[in-house]
Structure 1
Amino acid sequence: MASFDNEVVIVTGAGGGIGRATARRFAQKRAFVIAVDGDKQLAAETAETIFAEGGSALPYAVDVADAVAMENFAEDLHAEYGPPMVLVNTAGFTTAGPFLEHTLADWERLMGVNVWGLIHGSAFFGRQMVDSGRGGRIINVTSVAAFAPLPLSTPYCTTKAAAQMLTEGLRLEFAGTGVGVTAICPALMDPDSEESAEVVGLEDGVARVGNISALAARLVAHSPESVARTIVRVAARNPAVVPTPIEARAIYLATRVSPGGVRLAARILKSDNVTGLRNRLLPEKTLGRVDRFLERRLNRPE
């Protein structure tokens, strides 16, 4: 696929972060972008940004977890514009907290967006691509959490692992139809440009560890634009699995070379281990200064 000129490209989760950056990037390649988000205003803002940059886009407010809404959306879009050439599923939801503190409602929301959202898009638009005979591309944004356990993220990792296997299974099933399927697996993203994780059942000490992680992410994380560039590039090439950036590739390789080592690292980084060590080494007065420092750094404009 050498060009996206006037091709229909659907991006879910286009209201911000990776989704918005991807929608803008495809528009810069002269694609006609369908900017999908559960928030009507955010979808409209993405489309307006694309218009201002000289591109073409149409906003849609759709809950990707709603099967009926997604099916109707797919039918309406097909009737108006035909099958898409590219579908990019970036919509995602994140939680952070102990497994036993997650409610069934937390699980349902995670599964609805991170798994069923991909199933709905891939099923309805994948059928259109196959039936058209033109082929196409389905790109699912999963995560390094799909293949590496993360502390306080068991439900999130579970949904991302399911999304990863769904993507790899679809690639196998669609082989020979002209429809390529790729998993993009980002690592740390800039917390200022992505929706923060919903915190579930975390105590103050654990929340402090979360703040430290957020600050570290701000210092070393990558922007959504860097992932968007990768997505547009692989849409033209159709690789199977693309961990990005370099640290994601390192984690992916580590899970293949030494799965036990990755699990050991995750255990060491468990919040109760980290906070226990902190309580033994640091007095409460010092911890108060740490909290105030973290708050200043995380709230300071860049």
Structure 2
Amino acid sequence: MPLAHFDGALAVVTGAGAGIGRATALALAERGATVIAADVDLAAAERTVTLAKTLGTGGAAHRVDVSDAAAMEAFAAEVREAHRVPDIVVNNAGIAVTGSFLDTGTAEWDRILGVNLWGVVHGSRLFGKQMAERVNALPNKPEKPNYGGHIVNIASAAAYAPSRALPAYCTTKAAVLMLSECMRAELAGSRIGVTAVCPGFTSTGIARNATFAGLDSAGAGALRKRGEKALRMRGYPPEKVAERIVQAIIKNKPLVPVNFEGHVLRALSRVSPASLRLLARVPAPQG
């Protein structure tokens, strides 16, 4: 069954309760995939599965904290036992921490590294191992499938665009991008595709749920409102990111910048990194 058709595929999506995760889960379900929706908010994951079922596919919801290694191991084992080895894994769960490097404490670093980086490591390692074992167990015959699965890691345009206002976020997303490149090289031998997706500003709840280091509650509240308004005004829906993810799986693309700023920042990172370093110095607006 070619992954390009998705019909009958099993897809695991983390952070599937809202935003890019939900949009991706529904885009895959619309094409015939059964979706395992994982989120720290179980009710939100269940809502995603309910919406997926209206599209004619099955699915299941799981409450999972992707930063918890033991919880992720149990989750991966449960998916394999209750269903089978997934064909597609989308490591989407992510959070934002904003604030200068000197204002960002170890608690904020632990939290964002846990979700944005360790979450991707756990999901990729556990499910990637299952995929590789499935391929290696197949006999070397002409009818042997020419794929082992596909892993999508949601990075960000911040992966290649430094910012004095988002050092922790940029660091985790840059790590996700490099991890994806390393994984792609290793897993190609097992015919497992790996894609890093790097969206620019997208209308999700990431600003609403962000942590603002170095600000009191009033300042954080004002900056949160400003961030939410900016994302609404940008008006780039998560459904468009989901469509790019679907196409990336079909075409087995290594890196997918998304939307105008995603492409511009990627181009600048390659042809004029000095320009990005200058842009990184621009102070963030204060509430």
Match of 2:252 in 1: 238
Residues of 1 paired with 2:29 and 2:88: CA distance? Answer: 12
Kept in 1, the 8 Å contact 2:24–2:243? The answer is yes
SS in 1 for 2:120: helix
Unmatched tracts of structure 2, length 5 or more: 136-146
**Is 1:190 aligned with 2:192?**
no
Match of 1:285 in 2: none
Match of 1:16 in 2: 18
In the TM superposition, what is the alpha-carbon distance from 1:241 to its structure 2 partner?
Answer: 0.5
Of the structure 1 ranges 122-131 and 99-108, higher mean CA displacement relative to structure 2 is found in 99-108
In the TM superposition, what is the alpha-carbon distance from 1:102 to its structure 2 partner?
Answer: 1.8
Residues of 2 paired with 1:148 and 1:164: CA distance? Answer: 12
Residues of 2 paired with 1:138 and 1:82: CA distance? Answer: 16
Residues of 2 paired with 1:30 and 1:241: CA distance? Answer: 25
* Residues 154-195 of structure 1, C-alpha deviations (whole Å, 9 max, x = no match): 011111111111111101111221100000000001155875
Match of 1:60 in 2: 62
SS in 1 for 2:152: strand
Match of 2:159 in 1: 146
In structure 2, give the amino acid aligned to 1:180.
G
Kept in 1, the 8 Å contact 2:90–2:151? The answer is yes
Unmatched tracts of structure 1, length 5 or more: 276-290, 292-302
Residues of 2 paired with 1:155 and 1:121: CA distance? Answer: 21
Kept in 2, the 8 Å contact 1:16–1:194? The answer is no
User: Please, which of 176, 187, 193 is the counterpart of residue 163 of structure 1?
Assistant: 176
Residues of 1 paired with 2:172 and 2:38: CA distance? Answer: 21
SS in 2 for 1:184: strand
In structure 2, give the amino acid aligned to 1:127.
K
TM-score for the superposition, normalised by structure 1 = 0.84
Residues of 2 paired with 1:90 and 1:7: CA distance? Answer: 18
Closer, same or farther: CA 14–210 of 1 in aligned 2, 3 Å:
closer
In structure 1, give the amino acid aligned to 2:251.
R
Kept in 2, the 8 Å contact 1:17–1:195? The answer is no
* Residues 85-120 of structure 1, C-alpha deviations (whole Å, 9 max, x = no match): 000011001111122222211111101110110111
Match of 2:138 in 1: none
Match of 1:74 in 2: 76
In structure 2, give the amino acid aligned to 1:147.
Y
Match of 2:187 in 1: 174
User: Please, which of 240, 263, 266 is the counterpart of residue 252 of structure 1?
Assistant: 266
More helix by proportion, 1 or 2?
Answer: 1
Match of 2:143 in 1: none
Kept in 2, the 8 Å contact 1:18–1:194? The answer is no
Larger Rg: 1
SS in 2 for 1:236: helix
Closer, same or farther: CA 24–180 of 1 in aligned 2, 3 Å:
same
- What RMSD over aligned residues (CA atoms) do the two structures have, in Å? 2.0
Residues of 2 paired with 1:216 and 1:60: CA distance? Answer: 32
In the TM superposition, what is the alpha-carbon distance from 1:5 to its structure 2 partner?
Answer: 1.0
Kept in 2, the 8 Å contact 1:193–1:224? The answer is no
In structure 2, give the amino acid aligned to 1:148.
A
SS in 1 for 2:82: helix
Of the structure 1 ranges 34-43 and 73-82, higher mean CA displacement relative to structure 2 is found in 73-82
User: Please, which of 208, 218, 229 is the counterpart of residue 243 of structure 2?
Assistant: 229
* Residues 132-151 of structure 1, C-alpha deviations (whole Å, 9 max, x = no match): 11500000000011110123
In structure 2, give the amino acid aligned to 1:109.
R
User: Please, which of 108, 124, 127 is the counterpart of residue 126 of structure 2?
Assistant: 124
Match of 1:95 in 2: 97
| Identity percentage of aligned residues | 41
Residues of 2 paired with 1:197 and 1:249: CA distance? Answer: 24
SS in 2 for 1:82: coil
Residues of 1 paired with 2:254 and 2:208: CA distance? Answer: 27
Kept in 2, the 8 Å contact 1:16–1:193? The answer is no
* Residues 217-269 of structure 1, C-alpha deviations (whole Å, 9 max, x = no match): 322241110001111111111111100013211110111101011110121x2
Closer, same or farther: CA 131–225 of 1 in aligned 2, 3 Å:
same
In structure 2, give the amino acid aligned to 1:7.
A
Of the structure 1 ranges 112-121 and 96-105, higher mean CA displacement relative to structure 2 is found in 96-105
